Amino acid sequence: MFNLNKEKKFSYIKKGKGHPLILLHGLMGGLSNFKALLDFFPKKGYKVIIPSLPLYNMPLLLTNIYNISKYITKFLMEIGIKKATLIGNSLGGHIALIIAKKRIDLVHSVVLTGSSGLFEKAFGYAFPKRENYEYIRKKSQEVFYDPNIATKELVDEVFHIVNDKKKGIKTLYIAKSAMKYNMSKDLSVIQQPICLIWGKQDHVTPPEIAKEFHRLLPHSELHWIDKCGHVPMMEHPKIFIEILEKWLSKFDFNYEDYFCKI
């Protein structure tokens, strides 16, 4: 369990001091997905912040990726962030891109891993056998190259979400909104540096999607991790961290650029 900080209506984890890394998980993910980054980067002079996404807290008609992005923008402003590196997996990457496009003042750079925004063969669009635990287990395992990463605890959590009527419906709303919010025509205007870290065996957002992101984003680098699925920071945390640390080391972060009050 993590100790959550509270700031008005926002809940988040924070650790360390320095340039802020804002970690945004996916639709079926959670704060624990970034545990390796939370353990590593504060020791290297970074402030790591993981906000709790309001996936199930908004009114149904407002439950969509655009409003979640607005929520995170308000969160960054509330805690006094001027510039940050947004690191997003799956839906979290999509949120990061929306914010980077709309609020260049808040975003220094972006890291995408298995990001939606162009195409996603998502787990959340329909649950034809949601009451079948074995089916949910199999679908959860398909997210990873190594099926053993999908622990019983992880499968239990997904099973609970899809079988909770309110959470299931809101998950479907968010997934469909992400599908509709295609960013292919928006990416060329995003001028911040982008690091793409992709699993070569990602079946949710396949390698062709990473290549298309790389083609459309003007200032992007593409890095591959072999024998890796949709959630590289969980499946190969050491390799992911090595790539990310090397990429971040290219920047000369000025304290005045990323001042925050927390």
Cβ-proximal residues to 63 (8 Å cutoff; 6+ apart), any chain: 55, 170, 173, 174, 177
Per-residue pLDDT of the chain (262 residues; tens, 9 = 90+): 567 888 778 999 999 999 999 999 998 888 889 999 999 999 999 999 999 999 999 999 999 999 999 999 999 999 998 899 999 999 999 999 999 999 999 999 999 999 999 976 654 445 556 678 998 999 899 999 999 999 999 999 989 988 998 998 999 899 999 999 999 999 999 999 999 999 999 999 999 999 999 999 999 999 999 999 999 999 999 999 999 999 999 998 865 555 555 4
Cβ atoms of 60 and 153 closer than 8 Å: no
The 10s digit of each residue's pLDDT in 63-104 is: 999 999 999 999 999 999 889 999 999 999 999 999 999 999
| Complete DSSP assignment for 72-85 | HHHHHHHTT-SSEE
Tell how strand 5-7 and strand 107-113 pair up.
unpaired
In this structure, the chain runs to a length of 262
| Complete DSSP assignment for 120-152 | ---SSS--TTTT-HHHHHHHHHTTSSSGGGS-H
Give the three-state DSSP class for 54. coil
Cβ atoms of 115 and 93 closer than 8 Å: yes
One-letter identity of residue 167: K
Q: What is the pLDDT of residue 58?
A: 92
The 10s digit of each residue's pLDDT in 28-54 is: 888 889 999 999 999 999 999 999 999
Q: What is the pLDDT of residue 124?
A: 44
- Cα separation, 113 vs 206, whole angstroms: 11
